[in-house]
Chains A and B, each alone.
Chain A
């Protein structure tokens, strides 16, 4: 028997997607609930602009802010959180990680491709919303900005997946990782640009926050496409994004090795 790796992972993706479609409406609803959060942010910022009477904050006017949050609403379902956290922590707690290890594929790829299935579901919604934002906001991003946006979108997705793996694997030490999940969600929201565009902060705070991985899950891709940051600024962040990607991949690898040892030590 010859196993083609591509067919193997495609099969995993296919069955996970089919499994998700059983609960199709629930998946659509949860995606829209995440978007609702950005809609609230738009309403709040409209109120702030009109109450204070300012035309722009740090060079960003109300229209750009609305476009920024409209893009955030499209990114949130895809980038805000990875289902890997739930899958991995549940597999560790109930011991079903053992039954996943009997298949001829690495476990981390297995949960990644399973998560990709729900990711694609959200991606369809994200593309639809972003297309609508570009049309209604009369944006003309150009090929260079478009490419940068796609680049940061992929970086953001991979960072979300790796963070999810790292947090999920903490279940080997902790009985309940819900508190950490909530904390990281707040990090994405507050210091990742989910609620306040980072350019609204004083420059030194903005620079400091851009050194963390969280802006890559919301602010960097949204600000690149909406024009809140210039193409030059966006380009300069690539090194930080790639460095975080490499660092998180290394941490995830260490956690995987710890996880394997832990399974071996306590027989999860």
Chain B
């Protein structure tokens, strides 16, 4: 992640068209050696096609892909220094676990003794030590995925490609595998490129995320930057939950700005936007950045904020929906204009959910550095 990071994969102006459908549209991005890179996007956005082009199963219509500085044009999948973990795992059903893992090594002409050692080492790495003699149909989905992982890692590829690696696992196992994959990646130091449509998965595992929308890179950023500084409405909406208000930029100075959003009112920011005055912009505001006042608290907060008029934004409304999720409670609040706003509130004590009920009139505030102004 440093400035000196060396790109192991360079995707340069790559497009892929299937007939009239453009799956990948002029994508350029670099993936650095040793990082855990995630391609995130909704289904059908072209992320899997991009991954398959790196593996060599699809050929770019335009542009080129370099792996470790070498142009991959004309190099078939079996000659590329990358290995892939397939969504269906693709564990060979007619071979034992050990034979599955040894498959690539045998083809590479590795000696018998070394094959045995490396297979055992790879199986230990994915916590399947001692499972070598089993057949794939005697293993669970999660275990088969580990076999697929071991089978790829044993080849010591420069890059490991993972296609929706956790989509077939149940929620608990998925959360556990997220940690294990990150741990594994740090341990082996191989570059991981993962494709997923699950934002939680992406945020928890990635060093950097490339959000793909309609075949184009919507944003390339670290997980926290992606969440806190989305660069457009698609990313703000796709990654996490968000309130989006349309408005006009009415004040834009170096240290403050205001956006007039019909139905919500003026939203103040404590930084400049550098957008044209009067331009149409969008405000993205995360539900957890909005603080809901318990009855009586609102006035005190407002009074305290009098000294810093631009420091806080206030709003009033009525609770129209509540959903208790255990750790947090989600509120849907209808403002006086009829506009709705989503607020989440952590349940810090065991009685917090009793503070509010339907149709309660409430006030809320959020800091002037919480809203994100989006120009597109």
Partners in one complex: no
